[in-house]
Structure 1
Amino acid sequence: MTPRPDPLTVEVVELIGTVVARYYEEYELAAAQHSLTGAQARVLGLLAREPLPMRRIAQRLKCEPSNVTGIVDRLESRGLVERRPDPADRRVKLAAPTEEGRRTAERLRTSLDFAREPLGGLTVAERTLLKELLQRMLGMVPERGPEQEGPEQK
């Protein structure tokens, strides 16, 4: 029998769920302001970081490559994305943002006020701690400088 989580853990999980739900709600609204679906906006945001092959986009979004093809087709028809050969393997096509696609992705990113405003109320130290805790939860090891080391590292 699996032990029941403590009430604090249950509350934290519920709060994380609420944050995620609010983020997606705002993301969908921001996407709609640019006449995009949430999925199109997420693909455009990924591609604004780096051009990617369809398979990698599908892996990152946890969906089927055929779904990604349709999304990229629609973004391409709007002039926000283009397909180009991968310089490392010319058989592979990369989806990459056009200049207009980059500008749209940036406008989307800067229009998400939901988290930015409450985070602005936290000190730099609190935001840094929150970032490091989230990274640990995701299995990412945050880079720490000597000035950030806690007593357990010294």
Structure 2
Amino acid sequence: MTATAKPLAQDPIAQARRHWDEHGWGDAADGMAAVTAVMRTSQILFTRVETVLKPFGLTFSRFELLALLSFTASGALPMAKAGARLQVHPTSVTNTVDRLEQAGLAERRSHPSDGRTVLVGITPAGRELVPLAAAALNAEVFSRPGFGQQDLTDLTDILTRFRRRAGDFDESAG
């Protein structure tokens, strides 16, 4: 499944790269093509993931939060810590938790020893849903993402190096 109903006759990124060269921006053409290709690939994969999660009433951000909570021993995390682990803005965490609460999949709780901290916890319904949604994602997207095994290894290595250099994480800190 792709994000477009009908494949295009030409690769628009290759076409854009040629235009970059023609306009005298050749020194940036490879970078533009790579960045644009990564962004388009992200759109295609995001669409696939969202399509798989829709029957479960989830978006990827809601699934990510539920999965994160399901991996914790207590089933709960401070909202700020959940946002940091998912690398999203506090407003996004609040909106995601609001939607999960409306669906009965998560709930806000008071922290037992810190009155300023709000915990988000997974409900029994959320715990039941995570493995079902994960199984669907594994079967329909993650087990066959459209890359060969060596490509997956290389791509993960390349993107990990990029993320590290961009300051996305610091392995020496943890």
Query: What band does the TM-score fall into relative to the shorter chain?
Result: 0.5 to 0.7
**Does the 8 A contact of 1:136 with 1:142 survive in 2?**
no
Rounded to whole Å, the distance in 1 between the matches of 2:144 and 2:64 is: 21
Name the counterpart of 1:117: 144
Change (3 A) 1:135 1:91: same
Report the CA distance between 1:33 and its aligned residue: 0.7
Q: Is the CA contact (8 Å cut-off) linking 2:105 and 2:122 kept in structure 1?
A: yes
Q: Secondary structure at the match of 1:83?
A: strand
- What is the aligned partner in structure 2 of residue 45 from structure 1? 67
TM-score by length of 2: 0.58
Report the CA distance between 1:21 and its aligned residue. 0.3
Give 1:75 shift: 1.7
Residue 89 of structure 1 aligns to a residue whose secondary structure is coil
Residues paired across the two proteins, number: 138
Partner residue in 2 for 1:151: none
CA-atom RMSD in angstroms: 3.4
Shift of 1:3: 8.5
CA change 1:137–1:48 in 2 (3 A) is: farther
- Which structure's relative contact order is higher, taking Cα pairs within 8 Å and 6+ residues apart? 1
2:41 aligned partner: 19
Q: Deviations over 1:62-93 (max 9, x none)?
A: 4453x543432332243311223335634312
Comparing 9-18 with 84-93, which one deviates more in the overlay?
84-93
For 1:41, give the aligned amino acid: F
- Given candidates 143, 146, 156, the residue that maps to 1:131 is 156
TM-score, normalising length: structure 1: 0.64
Structure 1: any 5+ residue segments left out of the alignment? Answer: 144-154
SS in 2 for 1:110: helix
Deviations 1:24-66 (A, max 9, x none): 212222231112345433432343344333344455464453x
Choose the corresponding residue for 1:102, options 120, 127, 139: 127
Aligned equivalent of 1:147: none
